Chain A
Amino acid sequence: MITVKCFALVRELSQCASLTVPFEPGMTIASLQHQLAHRDANWQLALEGKVLSACNQTLVDSDCALCDGDEVAFFPPVTGG
């Protein structure tokens, strides 16, 4: 399984803070994002525009390959400080 976490605007638009999806061989950040965006209009809206992604708490590019058990997060550009 892949654990997916959403933060800030992505969490609000998708109306989802956390969910799990089955792992599939060959899965990448981009393919997972594509799969989620096709769930419904909320997810589509949440994942369009500039969305950053992390795998196991490290920022990664969309071509990052996933492994079973990974924790993936989607969130907008950060605005701390």
Chain B
Amino acid sequence: MFSSVTCDDFDQASLYSRLQAEAVAGGAGAIVTFTGLVRDFNAHGRIEGIELEHYPEMTEQALRQLMENACARFSLTTVGIVHRVGKIANHEQIVWVGSAAPHRQAAFDGACYMMDTLKQAVPLWKKEFQSGHGKWVAAKASDERAALAWVQGIEANSE
């Protein structure tokens, strides 16, 4: 199990290798990974990159708690999360999660759960730049519903 918060871009191949080594050692039969990228637009048009702020001491604890919850809930073999902070240009990688399990469904569910709950429970804040001005991104109701769905065991509405 591993997590990190970094100002630098990350290399998916090395993250996958690390996860795979832990997965194989734990007898996993499936790995699912997800990578989030910075979009070049929002509801108002083209953007010029983003900046992410976080609460360093709390982010580490929150990521570890989230990973432990995911492992316990879906009987995962191992998981990994990497999240970038600071200035990130359009199209660059922003977040990576990996989930390994004995079978594929648990690996898919684990990756999905980690992304949905990360958007609700980890102290990270996104600012988008547009026409030279920065604006904090508002929390989305659809993200809140997705996270609540895991708690309540219901299917989230899509938005």
Check A73/B122 contact, CB under 8 A, given A79-B137, A81-B115: no
Residues of B within 8 A of A80 (CB): 52, 54, 83, 95, 118-119, 122-126
Contact code string B47-63 (vs A, CB < 8 Å = 1, else 0):
00000111101100110
Number of A-B residue pairs at CB separation under 8 A: 71
Q: Chain A, 66-81, contact with B by CB distance < 8 Å: what is the 0/1 string?
A: 0000000101111111
A30 beta carbon closer than 8 Å to chain B? no
CB distance from A17 to the nearest CB of B (A): 10
Q: Does B26 contact A (CB under 8 A)?
A: no
User: Which has the most chain B C-beta neighbours within 10 Å: A8, A9, A79?
Assistant: A79
If A79-B137, A80-B95, A80-B118 touch, does A7 touch B126 (CB 8 Å cutoff)? no
Minimum C-beta distance from A22 to chain B (A): 23
A59/B55 contact (C-beta < 8 A), A80-B83, A81-B115 known: no
Q: Is B120 an interface residue (CB 8 A)?
A: yes
Compute how far the CA of A73 lies from the CA of B125 in the bound complex, rounded to whole angstroms: 14
Q: Please, how many angstroms separate the alpha-carbon atoms of A81 and B127 in the complex?
A: 12
* Known A76-B136, A80-B83; contact A8-B53, beta-carbon cutoff 8 A: yes
Cβ < 8 Å to B, chain A residues 4-24: 5, 7-9
Contact with A along B63-89 (1 / 0, CB 8 A): 000000000000000000001000000
Chain B CB within 8 A of A36 CB: no
Contacts of A54 in B (CB 8 A): 55, 58, 123
Can you list 27 contacts pairing A with B, beta carbon distance less than 8 Å? Answer: A7-B55, A8-B53, A8-B127, A54-B58, A57-B62, A73-B55, A73-B123, A76-B125, A76-B136, A77-B138, A77-B139, A78-B119, A78-B120, A78-B124, A79-B125, A79-B138, A80-B83, A80-B118, A80-B122, A80-B123, A80-B124, A80-B126, A81-B94, A81-B118, A81-B119, A81-B124, A81-B143
B residues in contact (CB < 8 Å) with A: 36, 52-55, 57-58, 61-62, 83, 94-95, 115, 118-127, 136-140, 143
18 more CB-based (< 8 A) A-B contacts, given A58-B58, A78-B120 = A9-B136, A54-B123, A73-B123, A75-B125, A76-B136, A77-B139, A78-B121, A78-B122, A78-B124, A78-B125, A78-B139, A79-B126, A79-B137, A79-B139, A80-B83, A80-B126, A81-B94, A81-B95
